Amino acid sequence: MEPQSQNLKTAPFLTLGRFHISEDYGFLLPNPLRELPGHYSPWMEIANRLPQLIESRQLRAQVNEMPLLNCQFLTGYREWRLARLVLSFITMGYVWQDGETQPKEILPRNLALPFVEVSRNLGLPPILVHSDLVLANWATRNPGGPLEIRNLDTIISFPGGESLRGFILVTVLVEKAAVPGIKALVQAVNAILQSSPDSLLQALQRLRVSIQDITGALGQMHERKSRAVFTSC
């Protein structure tokens, strides 16, 4: 048992930076971009009109005319994340434009190839996931204002109006409320590694408060999301 105890005491501290987790935003992407370089304007033009194109059943026709763009002009992590956000939303809209009765089983090359390339670069599956829908899909209306729902907006959206917007943005607030809890978990692990019961107790107390804040943030879902929309999802 003695060697194991020594290993615990000499183990390196756990830090959020090792896992690309922000000290201020947790799993949320800090300050996501809202625009890609001009080369990718065909993607952005479609993504910015996605609700209208889906509702009018014109999305597939627009995508079929889209040029095949190379991802080589994407620079920096946030540009790759925005490209992934845009392409994942367009892909889901393309597949489900006509509802559940006629999903599209094959994607056109001009959409599939860049989507797969971006997904591989980020280590994500080529399908819309929480990382896209929520973590990289938020922006502040007033950059100097508070991170509250009245000062937040989505970057890309589907049909669903304020209910969908509310679902996404309340989830953003839940993620933000979880940040102290994430830090508390790191503190707890380090306290165990350093055999510090006082620090461990403090971490667990902070975690309890964070869970209460998460519950409070989640409670806004009832105010922002239509029951009819929720039960039809």
Domain with 65, as residue range(s), is 33-137
Same-domain pairing of 128 and 176: no
Torsion of CA 56, 58, 59, 61, to 10 degrees: 170
Same-domain pairing of 130 and 165: no
Q: Which of 98-102, 140-144, 226-230 has the lowest mean pLDDT?
A: 226-230
Is 15 part of a structural domain of the chain? no
Buried b (16+ CB within 10 A) or exposed e, 204-214: eebbeebeebb
* Bigger pLDDT: 223 vs 3: 223
pLDDT of residue 9: 47
**Closest CA relative to residue 187, chosen from 200, 178, 176, 197:** 200
Q: Decide if 66 contacts 111 (C-beta within 8 A).
A: yes
Same-domain pairing of 131 and 172: no
Q: Is the pLDDT of residue 12 over 80?
A: no
pLDDT of residue 44: 98
pLDDT of residue 10: 46
Q: Decide if 92 contacts 128 (C-beta within 8 A).
A: yes
Q: Is the pLDDT of residue 223 over 90?
A: no
pLDDT of residue 136: 98
Same-domain pairing of 97 and 179: no
Q: Is the pLDDT of residue 91 over 80?
A: yes
